[in-house]
Structure 1
């Protein structure tokens, strides 16, 4: 008889967590969850080598949620992540897993938006803080977060934290934490720098290897390489994006400047494109992501750092306009599509010299190579493409107790829409976005403005 895998209940998790897992339809632990949770619950330091999609967030999330004392008004868990989008993603995942823990407070802190917003949310200490290193250190300096009752520190994507130059901040942060604490570290790769970080900051850690990010890609991901001169790349990209099978696309560039320049080029040729890079204010980043998710745009042009951890489901195509230096970067980019069993295509546009470099990677054996096809460019248009959906901004959000359900009801009752016509909805702290059909958008905005949700009058305006 083959031994059966344990269930979440077998791992010793609290009933409130098992209730959340059932609601989220988590059937059985992944290998990394099966190994990490018992070690972490036993109070041991853990090093997990875990690739994207291995379930590591739930592995450490369930472990620390089991240990949180919701009656203790203090920061007990800190999760350090390399990027803002990942901070938001982890915060949301922890909130869902901890849904049935009474009065659980989870907060995300990151650069790019006003300090006063974060300070206001710290009037009552969150039990769990998810943060980027620079912003957490700022809070330590201002003493708006005092970690003297910390139980667990989690370093998520440690390789990326070090790659992005957060080494000094990590040293300074760890110096200010209680020595008696548990530390969990997760990394897709184990570089010398990561190993050094482990040696200096973890005590007799147990090691879990759920596999490194390798060059093995899912069978449902098609890889296509296009080679030619650098001058032909923009026209070749435009041609790719105009193909019906391309669908919703994420385009990678190596610099912020190239992202902005390429977005302007695409918009001028009638493509509904948005830009995403690390220097944009957070509301602008939220808006760009939301437009891709709800179909108000077709293409997001992004840097690696900005795209790290973003959650865009149903992404059909990835295009690497600039070639990355390393195979693992190629894989991270390509792996943004063909998720959860869906099909997807990842293209890379290269010069002959770049192709010679890419061909040294093991993954190159899976790439179907063809010459760049770059038809003559149309002249720049005065207007960008107009997708079928348009996004409306609503002046109320989570802090006003407004839910997606409330917004659907209001747009149906006051805006004259059928339920099926109300598109993707995203609710933020102080505002919300609702996608509606373009032809009626202006009329709907006028009708719904002045309507009351939870006793508060709302304003509705078009997002351009």
Structure 2
């Protein structure tokens, strides 16, 4: 196992990492940081959320910025505002003991005029969601002409959310860049096209082994129950786990709302996060959950990606997720920072093959709960 020092990370950034309790590099950090520090050319990395990829690209990025120049030198594009804010916060924390590097996060759902005002100040790195970035460039609120490094984070997710056109525009506006670093959990055809558009013919490639992606501290279980028995099963499990906090994922908004009501009726402190909520409403729910004001958060996949809460003991999947990546994203919300956690998937009798497939493809063993 190498240290951040051996990977070439400067001492002031290591101090920032230590203050956050980060001392051991993850696999993606070990593989990406030395290449990005020394070579810094085009990179394609297959890595899921929860693998430590923000530091993998963030630390090298911070070393490539000239704090004396007032121009925007680096751009990170992320699919959701939750992820963009998380990346911005991490970059800010890493530089706690370094020369001041100014990071600005711009994403939909925040007031446009406030963002335009913030961009008047010297800004070195912009972290953005694609839609809002395009709006701001069109309004001449910022220029990408001096951007040397472009990071596309969760590129597959941005394409599946329909940001293909915006990404093409952003790639066009940053033509004078020296490098593009692309992180993606999966590589559908659309990503291959994007890679051809924005990268040199032979970029450096990294794959974080699938079996390492699923956290070893998670205990994976499943329970077979009829659809109308699921709420009762979940309520029973929550009552047995007394104070433990966690997440329940539902596939639909209606399902999430109904389950929230059923659990509240059983006396469980619960709230629901789903796509019909306005952005301020979502933020309010997340703030309350982070502060521990309620025990269980019921959420849909759409809003799940940016959930970053420590100390969650369990994740329950009301149905098995449609995509493997969703399973990794969902279950990765528990067992963070070396703690143990449990992930329970509820299946109907005919869905046994589905759970076997998830287990085989991700290399995890599921235990059945009686």
Q: Could you tell me the TM-score, scaled by structure 2's length?
A: 0.89
Compared CA separation, residues 24 and 356, structure 1 to 2 (3 A): closer
Distance 1:277 1:343 in 2: 27
User: Does the CA-based 8 Å contact 2:146-2:177 persist in structure 1?
Assistant: no
| Structure 1 residue 312 displacement after superposition | 0.7
In 1, Cα distance between the equivalents of 2:220 and 2:34?
Answer: 39
Pick one of 40, 43, 57 that aligns with 2:36: 40
**Shift in Å, 1:13:** 4.0
Give the 3 Å change call, closer, same or farther, for CA 102–282 of structure 1 in structure 2: farther
- 1:93 shift after superposition: 0.6
1:267 Cα offset (Å)? 2.4
1:232 aligns with 2:238: no
**Is 1:165 the counterpart of 2:162 in the alignment?**
yes
- 1:264-284 alpha-carbon deviations (Å, 9 max, x no partner): 332233221112234433332
Match of 1:49 among 32, 46, 71: 46
- Work out the CA distance in 1 between the residues paired with 2:364 and 2:224: 15
How many Å separate the matches in 2 of 1:28 and 1:364?
A: 24
**Which structure is higher in RCO with an 8 Å CA cutoff and minimum separation 6?**
2
| Counterpart contact for 1:83–1:305, Cα < 8 Å | no
Deviation, structure 1 residue 70 = 1.7
Which residues in structure 2 correspond to 1:241-390 (within 5 Å)? 241-244=238-241, 247-361=244-358, 362=360, 366-370=365-369
Counting only pairs closer than 5 Å after superposition, residues 173-212 of structure 1 correspond to structure 2 as 173-203=170-200, 204-212=202-210
The answer (yes or no) to whether the contact 1:215–1:327 under 8 Å persists in 2 is no
Residue 107 (structure 1) shift: 1.6
**Per-residue deviation at 1:237?**
2.0
**Relative to 1, partners in 2 of residues 1:248 and 1:25: Cα closer, same or farther, differing over 3 Å?**
closer
Q: Which of 134, 138, 142 pairs up with 2:135?
A: 138
2:220–2:364 contact (8 Å) kept in structure 1: no
What's the TM-score, normalizing by structure 1?
A: 0.72
Give a deviation string over 1:26-71, Cα, whole Å, max 9, x none: 4354443333233223231111222333322112111111111222
Q: What is the aligned-residue RMSD (CA, Å)?
A: 2.5
Q: CA deviation at 1:340?
A: 2.7
Structure 1 residues 231 and 11, CA gap change in structure 2 (3 angstroms): closer
Alpha-carbon distance between aligned partners in 2 of 1:150 and 1:35, rounded to the nearest angstrom? 24
5+ residue gaps, structure 2, are none
Q: 1:115: how far off?
A: 1.6
Q: Which has the larger radius of gyration?
A: 1
In structure 1, list runs of 5 or more residues that go unmatched.
372-464
